[in-house]
Amino acid sequence: MKKIETKVIPVLDMSCVVCANSVEKTVRGLSGVEQATVNFAANTLSVTYCPDEITLQAMQKAVQTAGFDLVIEEEDPVAIQEEKARERYQRLKRNTIGAWLLAVPLAVLGMAFMNASWANWIMMGLAFAIMLLFGRSFYTNGFRNALTGKANMDTLVALSTSIAFLFSLFNTLFPEFWLARGLEPHVYYEASGVIIAFILLGKLLEERAKNSTSSAIRGLMGLQPKTARLVKGGKEIEVPIAALRVGNMVSVRPGEKIPIDGTLIQGYSSVDESMLSGEPIPVEKNKGDRVLAGTINQTGAFTMKVTGVGSATMLAQIVRMVQEAQGSKAPVQRVVDKISSIFVPTVVLLSIITFVCWLVIGGTSYFSYALLSAVSVLVIACPCALGLATPTALMVGIGKGAERHILIKDAFALENLCRVDTVVLDKTGTLTEGVPVVTDVCWVKEETESIRDILFTAEQKSEHPLASAIIRWLEERGAKNCPIDRFESLTGRGVQVQLQENSYWVGSQNLLETFQAEIPVSVQKSIEQWQQEGRSVVFYGREQQLLAVLAVSDRIKPTSAVAVQALKKLGITVHLLTGDGQRTAEQVAATLGIDSFQAEVMPSDKENYIVALQQAGKRVAMVGDGINDSQALARADVSVAMGKGTDIAMDVAMVTLITSDLLLLPDAIRLSKQTVRLIRQNLFWAFVYNLIGIPLAAGAFFPMNGLLLNPMWASAAMAFSSVSVVTNSLRLKFMK
């Protein structure tokens, strides 16, 4: 089986969504690349590839050939990208200021002295200076794309401004050509110069707004300190985080952020883990306990042994998950990408058609109108607004979720979460604390040390959440491991061990009935009372003989009932699935106000329950935290894992609630609704802008009211269309 890796790589030098499509196609076409997705809003490439077949260096070389670049340094690629982004922003700022300093007098001359021949030469100089000094990148990028048979936003800008400038230059040098034909030799230097100034201003504002969409990632990355105190030879040396290696000893003082993942080897303290877990109460840490990068040491000083560096830390994994989610594409975005890929050639064709139509209708006397309209069509068309509509909203939505301790795996999950009309909840660890305790025990046979030890050994090998409660209870009574001949896990029912000639079993009433063990009448009364109180009942026996019955209680989380009611207010039907007995399920369902529930379910039963709901036309979200939930999670339309659950549940899940607080689920659904609403708004206005703007620029309204759009105002409209889409997405940051 070949090795597959997924990485999120910063991309440099993209100027529009067409550039993003070009990078994506280039990487996707390389041998060894399984999947590639470029997010223009985040300037990132999410690539799944086989490292045995292709290297990151080979990808970078291919992207460089296409005119762009990747940041593949392992040390800190995001920091390098941010530094490049800062440099780009400062360069863009200088060019914008410089262009406007020349564009303002250029526009004044064009409006106030349009008939003065001497003004033409000054305007020509000003326009040429703007194009050469501040808009040079449009022409170099446009020319480079033309050589490779590609076209992007730079192509439209370069074409429109060059046509306006060259036509004006011809009229300045050879005015008699038009005068001999009875026409006025108009010049449009101000159009070529002001177009560049407006577009640079739009790009500057767009860049600034785009930077705000990734603030969640920067906030997460900012949790980790840049340096740590390495303990070496009895001395403390301050070193960069990147210099640390697994096994190093690091000293942490009170009030400091913990620099890296590790294990306490000396000292003790309490640690504020709220920034990662959301739990407000500090966690006591003693020798052997795990501590995480970015959390805050509060009271004591300690020495820790490094267990995870770089991408292996918990914080880095969360950052990577958010980055991958922000870089993913919603299904609707793929349709937009197809439109964007043919957008520029289509606009160029429309511009030519506009020019020809004007000449056919009005002849040479309409040449100026034809030229202005053709230039306006090139300028006003904006693929960037379409390209930014979806990713900017997704970036803000997924980032806001991360800040609220909701990790959303990809855009598909965020887009589909709002469509859910049915939520299926596992009980243990989802609705309850997941830390059960043994409350009552009824011994049917005499309690002996050997019987306790066998039960202790069997439960230590069990993965069921109730097993930990029984283990803790037995440890308090001095139980210890004993040798056994065979162990078998009976999924959904319990466990069975073989010792010499006897089979011992621990599990549910279903397992009791399998072994046909009888329950004494006196014990049955206790069982009924425990079940009525909502406690879980565990049976322990040998062959066909019942040895003991244990009552285990798992306290319902304080917020579970509120979360269920919040889901109902959103119009969502709530179901409960549990492996516990019928009476326990009834008690929990009644307490939480859940009408539909099913007890004594096995993992396959949970999956079948999901399938039945889907066949009834329901869109189902499954919420769970254990291995036994993984089948149902994989089957559901949207899968949600509790952050304190098993790794396999979180791997399968599309959404992870880090704090394991079910109240985050209605928050996540509301966030999904808000994000999808913004995406629809953005796409609507982006399409409407182009549907109205292009005909307006072409002069479609000229026969009715004499309205003809000046290319300068067309460029302003184009520049601010992208800014408006990004700004609309940023509104999500301030929504509840």
Give the pLDDT band (50/70/90) at residue 342. confident
Work out the pLDDT band at 78, boundaries 50, 70, 90: low
Q: For the residues 417-425, what does the mean pLDDT come to?
A: 92
What is the C-alpha separation between 315 and 499, in angstroms, rounded? 45
Q: Are 377 and 352 in contact (CB under 8 A)?
A: no
| Three-state secondary-structure class, residue 622 | strand
- The span from the CA of 386 to the CA of 698, in Å, is 20
By CB atoms closer than 10 A (0-12, 13-18, 19+), residue 554 is buried
The residue behind tokens 């309690």 is 447
Neighbours of 664 (CB within 10 A): 25
Residue 303 pLDDT more than 80? yes
Strands in 283-285's sheet, in edge-to-edge order, are: 283-285, 269-272, 296-297
pLDDT of residue 364: 77
Q: Kindly indicate the confidence band of residue 220, based on its pLDDT and cuts at 50, 70 and 90.
A: low
Q: What are the C-alpha distances in Å from 565 to residues 562, 573, 576, 578, 594? A: 5, 10, 14, 20, 9
HSE toward the beta carbon, residue 254, CA cutoff 13 A: 7
Indicate the pLDDT class of residue 493, thresholds 50, 70 and 90: confident
- The CA distance from 347 to 151, in Å, is 11
426 part of the active site: yes
**Residue holding tokens 């079910």?**
662
Nearest 5 degrees, angle CA 381-CA 383-CA 384?
Answer: 115
> Percent of the chain, pLDDT > 70?
87
Q: How many CB atoms lie within 10 A of CB 327?
A: 25
Res 64 pLDDT > 80: yes
Residue 137 confidence (pLDDT):
87
- Residue 676's pLDDT band, with cuts at 50, 70 and 90, is confident
Measured from the Cβ of residue 281, the count of other Cβ atoms closer than 10 Å reads 9
Mean pLDDT calculated for residue range 342-366: 84
C-alpha distances out from residue 353 to 217, 373, 378, 689, Å: 46, 10, 12, 20
Q: How far is CA 506 from the centre of its chain?
A: 43
Residue 616 pLDDT: 93
HSE-CB at 15 with a 13 A cutoff on CA atoms is 23
- The winner for highest mean pLDDT among 217-221, 230-234, 324-328, 392-396 is 230-234
CA distances from 626 to 478, 554, 613 (A): 29, 15, 21
Degrees to nearest 5, angle at CA 427 with 424 and 428: 140
pLDDT of 328 reads 57
Name the most confidently modeled range: 98-107, 333-342, 403-412, 679-688.
98-107
Q: Are 556 and 432 in contact (CB under 8 A)?
A: yes
pTM over 0.95: no
Query: Helix crossing, 153-173 with 136-147: angle to 10°?
Result: 110
pLDDT digit string (tens) for 91-125? 889 999 999 999 899 888 877 776 677 888 998 99
Confidence at residue 506, expressed as pLDDT on a 0 to 100 scale:
92
**Furthest C-alpha separation in the chain:** 121
CA pair distance 227, 309, nearest whole angstrom? 13
Position 11 pLDDT exceeds 70 = yes
Phi, psi of 181 (to 5 degrees): -105, 10
Q: What are phi and psi of 655, to 5 degrees?
A: -130, 135
Considering 410, 426, 554, 625, which one is annotated as catalytic? 426
Regarding predicted confidence, which is higher, 181 or 483? 483
Per-residue pLDDT of 509-536, as tens digits, reads: 888 888 888 898 888 988 888 877 767 7
Q: What is the CA radius of gyration of the chain?
A: 33
Question: What are the tens digits of pLDDT across the range 550-605?
Answer: 998 777 888 899 999 999 999 999 999 887 777 778 888 888 999 899 888 877 78
Among the ranges given (36-45, 164-173, 467-476, 715-724), the one the predictor scored with the smallest mean pLDDT: 715-724
Lowest-pLDDT choice from 48-62, 166-180, 266-280, 686-700 = 266-280
* Surface-to-core class of residue 693, CB atoms within 10 Å of its CB (0-12 exposed, 13-18 middle, 19+ buried): buried
